[in-house]
Structure 1
Amino acid sequence: MDSNNKVVVVGAGPVGLITALGLARAGVEVVVLERESGLVASPRAIVYYGGVLGGLEQLGLLDDTLKAGVRSTTVQFLVHRTGERIAFDHDVLEGRVPFPYNVNLGQDRMADIALRHLLRLPGTEVRFGTTVTGLEQDADGVTVIGDADGVPVRLRAGWVVGADGASSRVRELLGLDFEGTTWPERFVATNVRFPYDQHGFADANMVIDPQYGAVIAKIDDSGLWRCTYSEDATLPVETVHERIPAYFAATLPGDQRYELVRYSPYKMHQRAASAFRSGRVVLAGDAAHVTNPTGGLGLTSGLFDSFVLSEALAAVVRGETGAEVLDRYAQDRRRAFQEYASPVASALKHLVFNCPDENVLEDALAGLRQAAADPELRAQRLMISQPLQTPSLLTPVTPAG
């Protein structure tokens, strides 16, 4: 196959692999490059809103996702200080949307599902342990320069997708700014075995407290849960593990016996690349935009990037549409992040982790109580991912009137 009809995807996280899968299913030759030696297993994103499940279904991933994950039908806000619980049941979404539930599943397991599906298709290759060190663009394509355990790599492709995370080397090589702010707190994501459900926790929970705030969700049916909390980012990251027991001692109910399976500390940002396209290179997922994970809108945004991009880029490669469609992708997806994902995630973070003012908190809780009691308001709150979705770039727009 002509190398100019090949796409190199940099990054083997869920967004990179799902983008590659979408391209491969459309008949495009794809090579995925990943600097790590295998899929990264550290705790990160876990929620897949009903709004993204349709895209996973179209790619053939939904059945495996449902088998591996947990269907979440209730989101609960829990006020740590008072014990108040405000539940948002998904029953109001029945008949309104195709998927009236969310799915909780670690992003490493989603990446594994996508990888297995990808490698079943012809014209696909995944190279782990390969670091991209250079990009050379011309009118016809891109030469990707890299290093694979000391062995020089040169790949010629028509297009490159940078899906290599918040510290994207692709974005750096393009000279694009990563505009925004970094939060003064550090998040600590933990995978723990503890019977939260026996203590009144739903499958998805937001614990509201300026000191002990957390997002707690059931990951699978083996008793594994994700608990993500915050701490002062000036504390030494090297000693995070020494502070984890104190957090659980202060927050776990019952006998407090738990098993820490895995943990991952990380910085939180609200940032977006100054452009999502530069010539024949396009950014997606965290390489393009990052948000604090409260509300699960980071990976959700990335998956919506992937669904739109893979369809549009495949049409460009096949000569069915002009490359200008990728400018529309870049504009639409950047706008969805800047105008919705980032401000909504920031507001949720302030509520869950940073709301010491009693009057402000009470106003917020009053709004949650009202929404939980009103089916229409509850449905609106639960369809949080819908404004993040942007339409297919290949669907003709019907003129008004």
Structure 2
Amino acid sequence: MNSAHVIVVGAGPVGLLSALALARHGIEVTVLERDTRLNDSPRAAVYHWCVLEVLEKFGVREDAEAEGVIVRGNTFHRLSTGESVQISQTAIEGVVPYPYNLNLGQDRLGQICLDHLSRLPNATVRWGDGVAAVSQDAGGPGEDGASGGVTVTLDSGATLAADWLIGADGGRSAVRKALGLDFPGLTWDDRFVATNIRFDFEAYGYGRANMVMDADLGCIVALLDREGLWRVTFAESDDLPEAAIPDRIDAFMKAFLPGDKQYELVQFSPYHMHQRSAESYRVGRVLLAGDAAHLTNPTGAMGLTSGVFDVELLVDRLLAVIAGEADDAALDDYADRRRTAFLDNASPTATRFKNLVYGGVQADIDEAFELYQRVERDPEASRDFFLGVQSLREPEFRGVPL
């Protein structure tokens, strides 16, 4: 077992995947999570085909697919005309190893990672241990990557030392704040309301993954499990009182749902939407990943996708430094590449999707819908449509050309 010790702050999917990937390579890993259990509120739930390649690399794809829902196409709806178009992922069959997406609540992926971590003697998860402060010792990594170190002070006042620290503790990251890093960008004026409901969408022509484009009733609709649980996410003004959200959910569903409109609300979660990136993803022996490094509105699943690709490159670079195969400039390379990928690709793409789905201008909706109609009819365009998400991933890990 390698003597290096890495602290991972945050037990969301990015933190747990980081911990699992490192622990599988013999690194001692300690996960610190301020909450006392996994967060099961409605959050990200879509894994693009190339994200599945990373989950396979980390040993959890089969378990995730056993619990989740396979999606073999994206359906776009234009409510103003009642038309729908589905772009099928058959266009990438034989081109990529997993020619489909997966829908699965991120809490379920988190539990799968925890199950795998529990089997590794070099991995520890500490619940109810939040980080109050971070300090670092002078000195860069030596040949074994072990000189210098980082110490966290917990909310309890206790301290814990390690060689490296990964901050994956979400948009309000205590690690990022402890480093004094700015988090520039914008916060949208509207609020997302993510709901989990039971309703037979498929009886009304919906696919398993849907973008409903409309100036008033735009939303995302996705099947979450095999028992008929669906995610419906809509947007509303942030000025509206949160206490009345259940009433507004009912009003939205009564206006949006087809047929008899009888649905069961299982769970909901309101949250703010941002487009933000930390000024740096690395400060000495501390590295940021996922929402701690960058925040995007979730339309198109750009946030979780970016986070998983952060983990892929971060683990690759950190393992090389720990093994003495690279100096710590490799970690600057991680930080620079992932920040660029977010700012140049993930954030603009998510912003375009948001502006189409939520309160979009009808002329823009019509133009996009007609483009999707052309893509549906053209196998080569369909192939490029699905392969385009690779722009969020580092070139060295891409299995097929863009």
Does TM-score exceed 0.5, indicating one fold? yes
**Is 2:78–2:365's contact at 8 Å kept on the other side of the alignment?**
no
**Is 1:23–1:311's contact at 8 Å kept on the other side of the alignment?**
no
Aligned to 2:315, the other structure's residue is in SS state helix
Determine whether 1:103 maps to 2:107. Answer: no
Q: State the match for 2:353 in structure 1.
A: 348
Q: Which residue of 388, 391, 396 corresponds with 1:387?
A: 391
CA distance in structure 2 between the partners assigned to 1:359 and 1:106 by the alignment: 34
CA distance in structure 2 between the partners assigned to 1:30 and 1:293 by the alignment: 29
CA RMSD of aligned residues (A): 1.5
Q: CA deviation at 1:391?
A: 4.2
**Is 1:270–1:342's contact at 8 Å kept on the other side of the alignment?**
yes
Q: State the match for 1:222 in structure 2.
A: 227
Q: Which residue of 286, 300, 309 corresponds with 2:305?
A: 300
Q: State the match for 2:81 in structure 1.
A: 82
Q: CA deviation at 1:381?
A: 1.3
Q: State the match for 2:151 in structure 1.
A: 143
Q: Which residue of 167, 176, 182 corresponds with 1:177?
A: 182
One-letter amino acid of the structure 2 residue matched with residue 71 of structure 1 = I
Determine whether 1:259 maps to 2:264. Answer: yes
Q: Which residue of 238, 263, 272 corresponds with 1:233?
A: 238
Determine whether 1:313 maps to 2:313. Answer: no
One-letter amino acid of the structure 1 residue matched with residue 363 of structure 2 = N
Q: CA deviation at 1:332?
A: 0.6
**Is 1:45–1:296's contact at 8 Å kept on the other side of the alignment?**
yes
Counterparts of residues 1-400 of structure 1 (less than 5 Å): 5-139=4-138, 140-147=148-155, 151-356=156-361, 358-391=362-395
One-letter amino acid of the structure 1 residue matched with residue 150 of structure 2 = V
Aligned to 1:321, the other structure's residue is in SS state coil
TM-score, length of structure 2 as denominator length: 0.94
**Is 2:170–2:292's contact at 8 Å kept on the other side of the alignment?**
yes
CA distance in structure 2 between the partners assigned to 1:336 and 1:49 by the alignment: 16
String of CA shifts for 1:8-33, please: whole Å, max 9, x gaps.
00000000000001110111100000
**Is 1:308–1:392's contact at 8 Å kept on the other side of the alignment?**
no
String of CA shifts for 1:207-256, please: whole Å, max 9, x gaps.
00121100000001001010000000111123212211001000111111
Q: CA deviation at 1:360?
A: 2.9
CA distance in structure 2 between the partners assigned to 1:45 and 1:327 by the alignment: 28
Name the stretch that deviates more: 274-283 or 250-259.
250-259
Aligned to 2:86, the other structure's residue is in SS state strand
- Long gaps (5+) in structure 1: 396-401
CA distance in structure 2 between the partners assigned to 1:384 and 1:109 by the alignment: 27
Aligned length: 389
String of CA shifts for 1:299-351, please: whole Å, max 9, x gaps.
00000001111122122223232111000000110111110000011011111
One-letter amino acid of the structure 2 residue matched with residue 54 of structure 1 = E
CA distance in structure 1 between the partners assigned to 2:76 and 2:396 by the alignment: 34
**Is 2:217–2:359's contact at 8 Å kept on the other side of the alignment?**
no
**Is 1:181–1:271's contact at 8 Å kept on the other side of the alignment?**
yes
Q: CA deviation at 1:392?
A: 5.1
CA distance in structure 1 between the partners assigned to 2:2 and 2:220 by the alignment: 48
CA distance in structure 2 between the partners assigned to 1:95 and 1:313 by the alignment: 33
**Is 1:49–1:101's contact at 8 Å kept on the other side of the alignment?**
yes
- Long gaps (5+) in structure 2: 139-147
**Is 1:301–1:341's contact at 8 Å kept on the other side of the alignment?**
yes
Q: CA deviation at 1:167?
A: 0.7
One-letter amino acid of the structure 2 residue matched with residue 381 of structure 1 = F
